[in-house]
């Protein structure tokens, strides 16, 4: 079950500090001024699906039990590292790790966006922008284009996360080409049958 409208932890909590960085990044990268409350709300509403909304909520609270989470458990510290050798954080998984096909996926997203969809430059997601995904407002772009950016980015994030989990828990490594094919299919499904 997906829980919505959950606690937001105001004040000086680590989550709130994280959200302040999200707000700052949204301003620096897109020129949009927003509030932390708005960021929470927009991640729960609009074009973000319940599945991604739930993922973003956990991401904002740092609740995903990935590598660094195991540093808290005695005897399990060796699980903190990704197979590529780096400490496994959500930033590592979604942006940096070469094993989850993130590089290929983000390159594909940029190319499609710049050459076929918007013909304007792609806003490269950072972990902060991903946390504030629902609040991204591309400069001087129509609403449909903005929504397309959010929906497509959500799909790419989900794909990378799925590839990572398959690799880790099902020992199934999906190479670059089939991974891009899966992403294309997911993006097509999102737009409905044409
Ligand atoms: Zn890695």
Q: Rounded mean pLDDT of the chain?
A: 89
Residue with the larger pLDDT of the pair 10 and 13: 13
pLDDT tens per residue, range 104-124: 999 999 999 999 988 899 999
Lowest mean pLDDT among 41-45, 79-83, 103-107, 126-130: 79-83
Check: CB of residue 150 under 8 Å from CB of residue 43: no
Q: What is the pLDDT of residue 194?
A: 45
Q: Region 53-59: what's the mean pLDDT?
A: 95
Q: How many whole angstroms from 118 Cα to the centroid of ligand 1? A: 31
Q: How many whole angstroms from 134 Cα to the centroid of ligand 1? A: 26
Q: What percentage of the chain carries pLDDT values higher than 70?
A: 93
* pLDDT of 175 over the 60 cut: yes
Q: What is the pLDDT of residue 58?
A: 94
Check: CB of residue 55 under 8 Å from CB of residue 157: yes
Count other C-beta atoms under 10 Å from residue 126's C-beta.
17
Q: What is the pLDDT of residue 145?
A: 93
* pLDDT of 6 over the 60 cut: no
* pLDDT of 83 over the 50 cut: yes
* pLDDT of 135 over the 90 cut: yes
User: What CA–CA distance (Å, rounded) separates 110 from 7?
Assistant: 34
Count Cβ atoms within 10 A of the Cβ of residue 68 and give its class: 0-12 exposed, 13-18 middle, 19 or more buried. middle
Check: CB of residue 55 under 8 Å from CB of residue 44: no
Which string of DSSP letters, residue by residue, matches 60-127?
HHT----GGGGGGSTT-GGGGB-TTSSB--HHIIIII-GGGTHHHHHHHHHHHIIIIISSS------H
pLDDT tens per residue, range 137-152: 999 899 999 999 999 9
Q: How many whole angstroms from 102 Cα to the centroid of ligand 1? A: 10
Tokens of 47: 């074009």
Q: What is the pLDDT of residue 9?
A: 59
Tokens of 184: 């294309």
Q: How many whole angstroms from 186 Cα to the centroid of ligand 1? A: 24
């Amino acid at each position: 079950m997906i829980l919505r409208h959950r606690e937001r932890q105001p004040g000086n909590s680590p989550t709130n500090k994280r959200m302040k960085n999200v707000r700052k990044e949204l301003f620096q990268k897109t020129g949009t001024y927003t509030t932390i409350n708005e960021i929470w709300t927009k991640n729960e509403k609009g074009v973000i699906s319940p599945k991604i909304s739930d993922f973003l909520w956990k991401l904002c609270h740092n609740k995903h039990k990935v590598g660094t989470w195991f540093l808290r458990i005695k005897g399990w510290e060796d699980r903190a590292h990704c197979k590529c050798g780096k400490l496994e954080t959500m930033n590592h998984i979604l942006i940096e790790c070469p094993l989850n096909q993130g590089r290929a996926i983000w390159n594909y997203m940029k190319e499609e966006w710049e050459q076929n969809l918007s013909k304007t430059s792609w806003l490269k997601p950072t972990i902060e922008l991903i946390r504030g995904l629902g609040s991204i407002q591309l400069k001087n772009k129509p609403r449909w284009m903005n929504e397309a950016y959010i929906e497509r980015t959500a799909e790419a994030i989900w794909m990378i996360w799925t590839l990572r989990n398959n690799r880790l828990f099902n020992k199934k490594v999906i190479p670059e080409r089939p991974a891009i094919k899966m992403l294309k299919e997911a993006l097509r499904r999102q737009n409905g049958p044409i």
